[in-house]
Structures are given as structure tokens and as C-alpha cells.
Amino acid sequence: MPTYLITGGAGFIGSHLAQVLSDQGETVRVLDNLVSGKMRNLEPARRGKGDFSFLEGDIRDLDTCHKAMEGVDYVLHQAARPSVQRSIEDPLASHEVNATGSLNILWAAKEAGVKRVVVASSSSIYGDVEPESAPKEESLPPKPLSPYAVSKVAMENYCTAFYKVYGLETVRLRYFNVFGPRQDPESPYAAVVPKFLFALTSGEAPTVLGDGRQSRDFTYVDNVVAANLAACIAPEAPGQAINVAAGVSHDLLDLLQVLGELLDSDIQPKFGPARSGEVRYSLASLAQARRVLGYEPKVDFHQGLARLVELAVQGRYLD
């Protein structure tokens, strides 16, 4: 029975990975420093059929990374310091976690003889693509617009180097605007879906930064979990960068309209100044994901939002 290490496993995406693996009866170890992750997110994984364990620690500490790797077969590296805006405010901290911390994970995995490391990268590394409507393909050269994106490029380059130099199997999954239950709506750096959702359910006007026509390839978390698990075993995946998305783009005003319809709300948004360093248009090509992982998004934009609204109305958003 293989052992899975999930870094950042008490966070939004990591806790969903832990829950699914534990429900499948797998051996799961979570490493998290609990800065943004929460122990309550791990309760579903603890209740699963698998052998679950938790290690509190920081990926910036190499000794902690070595300890976490003992007996591990697969690493799902989700730990990160997210947010473009936060990286603009403090680029050093973003680099320490996303680049240096990831290097620690790769080195410890190599030393421990781990079979494969699957890392969470980001669509932000592409920057703005011309023409604007073009899907972003993995072959495009990185054009990072923020320190956050730069730190993810650095992580990806280390993954490539470790695969080529040390033979450590690494897979780089480029997430496109993931949303789903447990995504923190209260952080000042919260993602747009939970921010809009909880503003509307509270009877408040959501704030749109910019004109609202910036588009995103919104991706429900179940699709991301499926891509990670496929990336652990797909024969052609090592050494690859692979988009994980829905393959359909929606702008922020579309998002607000759908949420308003689902909640039967006619609250109109407020508008604020656009943020610097943010990509304006985002749409993923899924050709590589389909070919290498056999990936197909199972939950689309409207289905995902409907699930999220139902959970929020029932008070089960954090379950």
C-alpha cells in the first residue's frame, strides 16, 4: 500500500486530496504549518478508511521535510504562499515558501527515494497571451507578471532540473483558478469566488476590482483532485507541465450573474481600481492533460457553482 505525503494538506485543495485518498483507504500523511491551513479541514480525512497522520511543520525547514518524507511513495506538493497581491507586498516571503520551500521538498524527496512528486504550479506563469482569446498551451514561454508567478516559475525549473539531473520523477500541474468548499472567504487575499459568494449570501454588494471583464478559467476542486491522482501514476507524466482547468473562460460579471441567479439575488456590485500584476484573460488548453493524464473535467463552471451555493445555504461550506 503506497504512502502519500500532502504538503499544505490542511489547506483548501490539500484537504480535498487528503479526504479522497483517505476515503479510498490509502495511507496519507499531511504536512502543514497551519498558518493558513486549518485542522478542521482535515476532519473528513480523519474519518476516512485510510491510515491518516498529521505532522505540523514548515517546508522552509529542511529537517522537517526530511522527517515528512520517511517511507513516502508519492508527494502531492500543495504547500505555497498564495496570492499575487500578497507577493507584490512581500516578494521575499513568497520566494522563501514557493521557491526555496519547494527546493527543500524536492531535495528531501530525492534523498528519501520517493517515486514521484506532483507539484501545484499556477496559470499565472503564462502572463498575458496574444491574441487575448488564445488558450494557454504548456509550450508557451513563461511571462510572469508578479513575484508570485516568478516564484512558481522557479519551482517549475527546479522540478525540471531534479528530473533531468537526479532522475526524480516530477510532474508540474498548472492550476487555473480553483474553487470549491473550504476555500477561505475571509482572508484579505481571498479568491474571487468565495468573496462574491459570501458577500451575496450576507446581503452585501460584492466588490469588483477593475471593469469585471477580466476572464478566468474557473476550475472546480474535484477536477484538480482527479488530475493529481492521475499524475501520480500516468506513465508519460514525469517531466511534463500540464494545465488543470475546465477549458472554458468566464469573466467576473458572468460569475456574478450566475451566483445571483442561483441565490435569487439582484444585489449589484461595487467597483474598485484594478490590481497590478494580474493577468487579464485566462483560458487553458486541455490537450496535454487529455493526452498524458486521460483528464476530462467532470464538474463544469455552472455545476460547481451550484454545488457551492447549495453547501453555503445549508451551512456546510466548511465540511
Domains of the chain: 3-178+219-246+283-298 (3.40.50.720)
At 133 the three-state DSSP class reads coil
Element of type H or E holding 4: strand 3-7
| pLDDT of 72 | 98
Pairing status of strand 74-77 against strand 116-122: parallel
Residues 6+ positions from 92 with CB-CB distance below 8 Å: none
What counts of helices (H) and strands (E) characterise the chain?
Answer: 12, 13
Q: What is the DSSP string of 45-69?
A: HHTSSSEEEEEE--TT-HHHHHHHT
Q: How far apart are CA 186 and CA 183, in angstroms?
A: 9
- Helix%, strand%, coil% for the chain, nearest 5: 40, 15, 40
Residue 74 has pLDDT above 80, yes or no: yes
Question: Where do we find the cell 464538474?
Answer: 299
pLDDT at 167: 98
pLDDT score at 142: 95
> Per-residue pLDDT for 311 more than 90?
yes
Residue 93 has pLDDT above 90, yes or no: yes
pTM of the model: 0.96
Least reliable range by pLDDT among 40-49, 91-100, 128-137:
128-137
Mean pLDDT for 201-210 is 95
What is the average pLDDT across 275-286? 89
CB 108 within 8 A of CB 61: no
CA–CA distance, 133 with 203 (Å, rounded to integer): 34
Identify the band that residue 91 occupies on the pLDDT scale cut at 50, 70 and 90: very high
Q: Is the dihedral of CA 237, 239, 23, 181 positive or negative?
A: negative
Residue with cell 520566494: 95
Region 149-171: mean pLDDT is 98
The pLDDT value given to residue 234: 98
Contacts of 102 (CB under 8 A, 6+ apart): 59, 77, 119, 154, 155, 158, 159
pLDDT of residue 275: 85
Strands ordered across the beta sheet of 3-7: 51-56, 27-32, 3-7, 74-77, 116-122, 169-175, 241-244
C-alpha cell at 81: 504562499
How far apart CA 136 and CA 132 sit, in angstroms, is 10
Amino acid letter, residue 233: I
Say if CB 124 and CB 152 are below 8 A apart. Answer: yes
Residue for cell digits 462574491?
196
Catalytic residue positions, numbered = 148
- Residues of the chain with pLDDT > 70, as a percent, come to 100
